[in-house]
Every structure is written in structure tokens, then in C-alpha cells.
Structure 1
């Protein structure tokens, strides 16, 4: 059965890549609290999976992406190639200045700002702790002049890369389940969806931020746990390997279809990014 996602986006070009995405409520939940964004001005592509009672999750996801994009839009002009080679006059106490470190700091500040915004709303509206609005976020940022992408991650959405036909997971799930696996506590594994951190519930976060050198032909997948929790790794790999850069929207739709065929117990979002020549 061909299933059409409840929201899909036509391919969008950002510098050396083209991106497309789709999201669907799945087969069980009435509301879709997943969101995704492509922002050519901010040079950011991201997925957010909201959580919270009533409409709080959708609100958290949308607001977090909005705040991150706004912060990075302001940063892009300041991170032009001419300004990346900052001198020690900018920071008299610095011993080393590196453009990549500066970009990572800018990105971390953008995530901190989004978290602070959601946390302030939770406190200001006196939302109970167990119903706090919050969201995961996983994305890539392409700061100008560096020729690399920066991956950022909080929660259990994921970033994958398909290179030379092999699919690699580039993010680590920040969940109690993943922690138990890594510590060898496998006798009584907790549920897979218990998050160790997200944007919003707590006053501070420890996001993952990492630089990756991209190559022409690379394909990146950003997705919520409604996809990777339902579709096996090898099925995701095969779908991405079989697509062409002209089939981005169809491939996003196919991944969502696979998740729904496997049960569709959660909202599901797939965003695919294809890198071309430099």
C-alpha cells in the first residue's frame, strides 16, 4: 500500500547539498509532534521530536527549531571566511584560535538558547515536571567557509551517513536503554524511549557537537525514533543506497511507509540530504 506522509517538503538546495523531508503521525497517534526545518539562510537542517502533554510537544519542537535557526542566521554573517581567521585581539587571553572551535561554540550557544527558552516557558507556565514540554533535536549545520558539516544532537533522534554503500550511525542515543547497553546492565533493560536529556525539562544540557568532512555522493539521513525504532538498519541502508539525488522525496516517503508497515506506533520523520560537487 502506498502511504502519503501528512507533511512533505519539496527538495531544497543549501550550498553543496540538496535536502528533502517528510513527516507523518504514524498509525497509532492522533497528533504529530515531530517537526523538521531546512533554512538556507541559517544553513541548517534539523529534526525535532517533541514531547509533553496536549500540544506541548509540537510547540516545543517548533519553537526549538525556530530559536536554533534564528541564532544560526545571526551567526552566519559573523562566520564569513574573512572573519573566521580571528586574531588574538579578539580574545587577548587566547593561546589558540581555530575556526572550527569557534563554529562549534556558536552552535552550542544556539542549542543552549533554545533550551533556555523552553525551560523558561515550563517554569513560567508552571507545567508539572512529568508534563514538561521538551524535544529532541538532531541536525547538521554548514558554517560558511569551512568545507565541513557540524552535527548536533540532543536526545534520541538520529543522524546517519551513507558512504560507499555503507550506512553509519553518527549520533549516540541519549537514553537509559543505550546507557544500560554500554555499561553491560542487560539483565533488566529499561524501555527504549526513556531519555537522559532533551531540550526544555532541565536548565542545562550537554549536547553532542561534532565536525564531519563530507564527500560528494554522501547521503545523510536525519530521523526521529519513529523511524529507526521500527525499520531495521539494513532496510534503511538499502533504501538510501537505491535512491538517486532526483528521488529524495520518494525515498523519504518510502522510509515512512516502511515504518508504518512495521507498526507505526510513533510519529515518524525522515529528512535526506545529498551532497554533490564542491
Structure 2
């Protein structure tokens, strides 16, 4: 599919980067259960993939993103206030803004999971629970580092110095089998070990990353990374300019559609200042 036929969203300005995103239902599924957000007020970018074939996947992905935004908006203020207080007191214990932000991010994911799980119980969806993946990057004000949030198998990549690196780890039975060397009878790629909603507790991954000027971060659902080879994703990010990240999103979606488009497809690119 020609990327010219896909919309080219204009970049949205955040504190230290510009971001753009695009999503498509693909060629097979009727409904798009993927959702993404770019929130300049919070400096937050995230992708959520509602669990395919499960009840209300689109509802789950949208609700999870809403929960994350609301919780981080509330949690970010105490961290910022603590930084301001300690900055004016040289005798105070050093406060790590990134550690505070990581705790806030983990709390936000727990809150989103509790909210979705309660919805499942309330609506009798225990046997066919709604759920969603969620992968995001958050650049809290006052923190020099980028905080990543991850549950499930949507992915976070970083393009730096000509190389694409996967920063997230798929929380899937397939990935677990690969890591244990059980490659003779690999399970299906889409069996999740972690997701927001189905179970009362989760094991999210929250990490801090040092970003550099010129970094490009890609957040995507498995409808993209499951269809497009690593080298093609790398080439698409390497050839794009900061003002044309919407074009790169369209190019990546076109590659996934040309490869079959068997699932919903979402790509969000954040380009940090300096390139």
C-alpha cells in the first residue's frame, strides 16, 4: 500500500520532543481496538492495544489511557513540589525526581489495572475479560530522564546513532519460551502473560532512560512489529526528519498493511530535539 494514501498527522509539540501517531484497523479486523495518546501537558506518549477477540477491547484500551493520564496528572504535582522544596534547602536529603516519577508510573499502571479489573467483575466478564496492553514514555517536568511504562506486548524502540534498539520486552508465552531455550515447539506469539484488566494484580515494567538530542522513539502495537521486519522499521526511522515524523508513521503503517495487515496497527514516533 502506498503511504501517500494514509493521513499524515502533524507533529504535536511536547517539552523536549515532537510526536506524531497513526492507527489503522488493518485488512482483517472490522474494529480498531488500538488507541494512542500524545499529551503535551504531561509530556506523555502511549499506545494501548485492546485484547484481540476479547470483550470490549477498544473500551479497555481507551479506559486504560484515561486512567494513566488522570493518575499521572495527580501524582506529578507532589514530585514537582518536592523537587522545588529540596532545591531551596541545601541541607535536605537529595531527592531523586526520576525515582519519584517511576513510583508514580507504577502506581498509575496499578490503578489502571484495578479499574479495568473492577469493570470486568462488575459486568460479569470474568470468563471473557476485557484487557489491554500499554506501553508509554513519560518525561516528567523536573526529571532529566525519560520514564518508560510497559505491560504486555506493545513495544518501545529507540533509534540512535543509526541503530534501532528494542527497549521493551514482550510479556508473552512466546518470548518466555525463547528465553528458556524451548524453541522446538514454540507457542503462538500473541499469548500474553501480562495485560491490564484480566487479573487483580500485574507485574509492570517501569524504567528510566537517559535520552539524547536526536533520539527517535517508536511506540507500536504488535500489528506493526509482528508484520514488519526490524531492519525495515530501522530504515523508516533512519530516513525521517523531525518535521516529517507523520510521514514515517504513514510509511510504517503502509508496510504493515502490505505485509497482510492481519491485526490493528498503531505507530507513534517521538523525535527529541537536536536532529
Short-chain TM bin: over 0.9
CA contact (8 A) 1:79 1:143 kept: no
CA contact (8 A) 2:129 2:198 kept: yes
Give yes or no for the alignment of 1:150 onto 2:147.
yes
Q: TM-score, normalised by structure 1?
A: 0.92
User: Which residue does the alignment assign to 1:249?
Assistant: 246
CA contact (8 A) 2:220 2:267 kept: yes
Q: TM-score, normalised by structure 2?
A: 0.93
Q: How many matched pairs?
A: 268
Q: Is the alpha carbon distance of 1:138 and 1:8 closer, same or farther for their aligned partners in structure 2, counting shifts above 3 Å?
A: farther
Give yes or no for the alignment of 1:84 onto 2:91.
no
After TM superposition, the runs of 4+ consecutive aligned structure 1 residues lying more than 4 A away are 52-55
User: Which residue does the alignment assign to 2:74?
Assistant: 74
Structure 1: distance between partners of 2:256 and 2:102: 33
Other structure's SS at 1:167 match:
strand
Q: Is the alpha carbon distance of 1:64 and 1:54 closer, same or farther for their aligned partners in structure 2, counting shifts above 3 Å?
A: same
Matches within 5 A, 1:72-221: 72-80=72-80, 82-84=81-83, 98-129=96-127, 131-221=128-218
Q: CA deviation at 1:78?
A: 2.2
Residue ranges of structure 2 left out of the alignment (5+ in a row): 87-92
Q: CA deviation at 1:100?
A: 2.0
CA contact (8 A) 1:86 1:97 kept: no
Q: Which whole-Å deviations, capped at 9, do the CAs of 1:168-216 have from their partners, x for residues lacking one?
A: 0000000000000000111110000000010000001110100001000
Q: CA deviation at 1:128?
A: 3.8
Q: Is the alpha carbon distance of 1:173 and 1:205 closer, same or farther for their aligned partners in structure 2, counting shifts above 3 Å?
A: same
User: Which residue does the alignment assign to 1:58?
Assistant: 58
**Superposition RMSD in Å:** 1.9
Q: CA deviation at 1:9?
A: 4.0
Give yes or no for the alignment of 1:268 onto 2:265.
yes
Structure 1: distance between partners of 2:149 and 2:111: 14
Structure 1: distance between partners of 2:68 and 2:9: 20
Q: CA deviation at 1:84?
A: 2.5
CA contact (8 A) 1:135 1:200 kept: yes
